[in-house]
Amino acid sequence: MQSRGRRNLWRGRARRAAFTLVELLVVIAIIGILIALLLPAVQAAREAGRRTQCSNNLHQIALAVLLYEESNHVFPPAILTDRGESAGGTLLYRPNWVILILPQMGEKPIYDSFNFVAHISDPENEFGGDWNGSSWVPRLKFGDGGRTATVSSFLCPSDNRNNRIPFGGNVSGEAGNWARGNYACNAGRPYIDNPENSAFSVQDGNSAAWKRDDCRGVMGPNSAVLSLQGITDGTTFVNFIGEIRAGISALDRRGSWAMGAAGASVVACYGSGGDDNGPNFCDPDADDIWAPNAITYDQTALERECMAVCESHCRNWQATFRSLHPNGVNISMADASVHFISNYIESTGLVGDINLWAVWDRLILSCDGHPVDAQKSGI
């Protein structure tokens, strides 16, 4: 009798410890709900970390440009071309501002890998090379030097889906294998040498638009550059270096760090007077970049990503700051401080009147003499 009672006791306990199918489903549902609730928080925390890394990169780059200015008493040219070549339409690139600051970035081996006698688009500068004292010996490893070199400080981790895809060229005879970057300098409100609007374009320091206080940025093409003292509005409230996105295909030149071109390493005509007015501006043909086969892009995808380009007649005339961070972009001011600027900053909107002064315009300009509302700017 005693043993039978014990058996009954253990049987009862076993039945109470078992899960029913309904109970199991309830537990799974609760776990699923908890994961769904936690996942956005985890993703937000990861993005916050990526945004911080981007901010740190920008600060480092801005300091390198300031060191260059300290040594040379002028900022590096955003774009450098041969005499007679259009800054907005050349394929024969000379060293841009990014290449010129490589020594200040601690990347002198990459800087030394360029043969500056040749164009940056020359085959000798694809992988770079080394001078052995009597001749130029090409390097053979992709990404080790030249325009294929990957520089981690130029890459924003939020854009890691696209910024590892080299630009392969999309113009007949154009060089390929351009590594990507995510940072560009401020050339100001005018286009880069756009013959369709020559009065509102900059080719060099003699261009009428560069001489206008209501147009000038900080680093433009060729001789269109300032010294630190030339930023008369004060360095705290002038756009200096900011984020751009790498092109979403191998045909899209945007983000090619060694290429001196709008959208590749320069932003221009991104305030009132243009149709690319503001950070991450969405418009069916906002960025003017050289894409003669623009129809080969997935236009729907480009517009969905706010990365649309103009029709095929455009050259490298115009681009704005862009990022994959929610609601804005990181921008370094000319004092190397970095701020997150909202997509909703006050601007004059699509093709805004150049006589209207929005907060966004005042940040673009280096010498306009207008005060900036710190609260509205987010600085």
- 24: in domain: no
- 121: in domain: no
Q: Which domain holds residue 189?
A: 44-107+151-377
Instruction: Say how many CA atoms lie within 13 Å of 34 toward its Cβ.
Output: 6
- pLDDT of residue 10 exceeding 50, the answer is no
Q: What is the pLDDT of residue 40?
A: 67
Percent of the chain with pLDDT strictly greater than 70: 89
Cα separation, 320 vs 237, whole angstroms: 18
DSSP string across 6-73: HHHHHHHHHHHHPPPHHHHHHHHHHHHHHHHHHHHHHHHHHHHHHHHHHHHHHHHHHHHHHHHHHHHS
| Residue-wise burial string across 132-170, b where 16 or more C-beta atoms lie within 10 A, e elsewhere | eeeeeebbeeeeebbbbbbbebbbbbbbeebbebbbebb
Cα separation, 283 vs 294, whole angstroms: 15
Q: What is the pLDDT of residue 48?
A: 74
Higher-confidence residue of 100 and 24: namely 100
- 15: in domain: no
- 144: in domain: no
pLDDT averaged over every residue in the chain: 89
DSSP 247: P
Q: Which residues pair with 288 in a beta bridge?
A: 318
- 28: in domain: no
Cα separation, 214 vs 358, whole angstroms: 12
Q: How many domains does the chain have?
A: 1
- 135: in domain: no
**Whether the Cβ atoms of residue 115 and residue 124 lie closer than 8 Å to each other:** yes
pLDDT digits (tens, 9 = 90+) for 232-287: 999 999 999 999 999 988 999 999 999 999 999 999 999 998 889 999 999 888 99
- pLDDT of residue 15 exceeding 60, the answer is no
Name the pTM for this structure: 0.87
- 282: in domain: yes
| Three-state secondary structure call for residue 111 | helix
Cα separation, 28 vs 26, whole angstroms: 5
pLDDT digits (tens, 9 = 90+) for 39-91: 666 666 677 788 899 999 999 999 999 999 999 999 999 999 999 999 999 99
- 63: in domain: yes
